[in-house]
């Protein structure tokens, strides 16, 4: 199961939990109503009457059940939000099957953005062009009429155009994506490595960018603590402890297992 499939499975689990909580909330709400539906609307508690104790007890149970319904409704909303977050997670992971293609598309967009920002500043700050010429050139660059108006709107510093830090930050993003892309390309052709230390099977899974540790059984508490402290998490999908595939993680895993 690849990351996208796991992402979809996670979203489905959250949806199921949300539906279950919603169902339980509705059942609790109906039960709360049924507890007091035989009591006339506005009927006060008859203090001193033989019915006083039962009346108070029934109202308390109805109120508590209604409170449970509200909490279950909040729980359903929580899982709905978790499901939506899982579905809308469009981050690019090096272990994704389409990581190279998506990173290439992201790089192309960033480079186009960089060129557009620089050309925009060049046009609107030119002293040789008239306002009409600047307008026409921005339209040729791909701006809409609203976009042209926004380009000439001063920022909080009173300047027009893109500030230098925007261009600098975008340039840094371009360099970062290029590094990711090169690594993704290397990983795509790299062969997985598998070996054992003692009775623990270690897999350097380059296709998923994971370092995977397969123990023959449940590791003792000290080992689990060390694994968690060093960024390893239990994957029930793969049946192993795993982390991102890094050089220092491989060395740390060997220390934990050897120790």
Quote the CA–CA distance of 171 and 114 in Å, as a whole number: 7
Burial pattern 208-246, b for ≥16 Cβ within 10 A else e, equals: bbbbbbbbeeebeeebbebbeeeebebeeebebbbbebe
**pLDDT for the residue 166:** 92
**pLDDT for the residue 91:** 73
Instruction: Count how many Cα atoms sit within 13 Å of the Cα of residue 188 in the half-sphere of its side chain.
Output: 15
pLDDT band at 40 (very low <50, low <70, confident <90, very high): low
Burial pattern 179-201, b for ≥16 Cβ within 10 A else e, equals: ebbeebeebeeeeeeeeeeeebe
Tell me the C-alpha to C-alpha distance, in Å, between residue 31 and each of 18, 64, 197: 20, 11, 58
**pLDDT for the residue 222:** 92
Q: Is the pTM of this model over 0.75?
A: no
**pLDDT for the residue 46:** 62
What residue has token string 């030119």? 126
Kindly tell me if the per-residue pLDDT of 36 is higher than 90: no
pLDDT band at 43 (very low <50, low <70, confident <90, very high): low
- The strand pair at 240-244 and 233-235 is best described as antiparallel
Kindly tell me if the per-residue pLDDT of 206 is higher than 80: yes
3-state SS track over 89-103: CCCCCCCCCCHHHHH
**162 vs 10, more confident:** 162
Kindly tell me if the per-residue pLDDT of 258 is higher than 90: no
* Average model confidence (pLDDT) across the chain: 86
**pLDDT for the residue 190:** 78
Kindly tell me if the per-residue pLDDT of 211 is higher than 90: yes
- What is the DSSP-derived secondary structure letter of residue 129? S
pLDDT band at 24 (very low <50, low <70, confident <90, very high): very high
Q: State both tokens at 117.
A: 């920002």
Quote the CA–CA distance of 190 and 209 in Å, as a whole number: 11
- pLDDT tens digits for range 106-135: 999 999 999 999 999 999 999 999 999 999
Identify any residues that bridge with 242 across adjacent strands, giving them in sequence order. Answer: 212, 233
Alpha-helix residue ranges (DSSP H) falling in the chain: 3-36, 52-87, 99-124, 131-141, 145-151, 164-189, 221-229, 247-258
**pLDDT for the residue 132:** 93
Angle at CA of residue 216, ends 212 and 218, nearest 5°: 85
**pLDDT for the residue 51:** 65
pLDDT average, residue stretch 224-253: 91
pLDDT band at 174 (very low <50, low <70, confident <90, very high): very high
* Cβ contact 161:123 at 8 Å: no
**pLDDT for the residue 236:** 87
Kindly tell me if the per-residue pLDDT of 1 is higher than 60: no
């Amino acid at each position: 199961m690849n990351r996208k499939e796991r992402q979809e499975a996670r979203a489905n689990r959250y949806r199921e939990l949300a539906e279950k909580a919603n169902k339980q909330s509705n059942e609790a709400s109906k039960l709360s109503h049924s507890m007091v539906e035989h009591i006339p609307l506005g009927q006060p508690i008859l203090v001193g009457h033989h019915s006083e104790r039962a009346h108070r007890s029934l109202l308390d149970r109805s109120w508590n059940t209604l409170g449970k319904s509200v909490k279950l409704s909040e729980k359903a909303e929580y899982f709905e939000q978790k499901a939506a977050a899982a579905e809308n997670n469009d981050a690019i992971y090096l272990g994704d099957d389409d990581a190279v293609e998506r990173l290439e598309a992201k790089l192309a967009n960033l480079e186009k953005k960089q060129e557009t920002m620089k050309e925009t500043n060049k046009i609107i700050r030119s002293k040789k062009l008239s306002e009409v010429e600047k307008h026409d050139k921005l339209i040729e660059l791909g701006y809409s009429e609203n976009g042209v108006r926004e380009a000439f709107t001063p920022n909080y510093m009173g300047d027009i155009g893109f500030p230098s830090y925007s261009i600098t930050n975008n340039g840094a993003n371009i360099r970062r994506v290029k590094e990711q892309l090169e690594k993704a390309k290397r990983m795509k052709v790299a062969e997985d490595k598998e070996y054992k230390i003692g009775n623990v099977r270690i897999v350097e899974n380059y296709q998923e960018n994971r370092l995977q540790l397969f123990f023959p059984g449940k590791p003792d508490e000290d080992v689990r603590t060390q694994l968690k402290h060093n960024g390893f998490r239990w994957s029930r999908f793969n049946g192993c402890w795993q982390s991102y595939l890094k050089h220092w993680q491989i060395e740390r895993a060997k220390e934990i297992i050897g120790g």
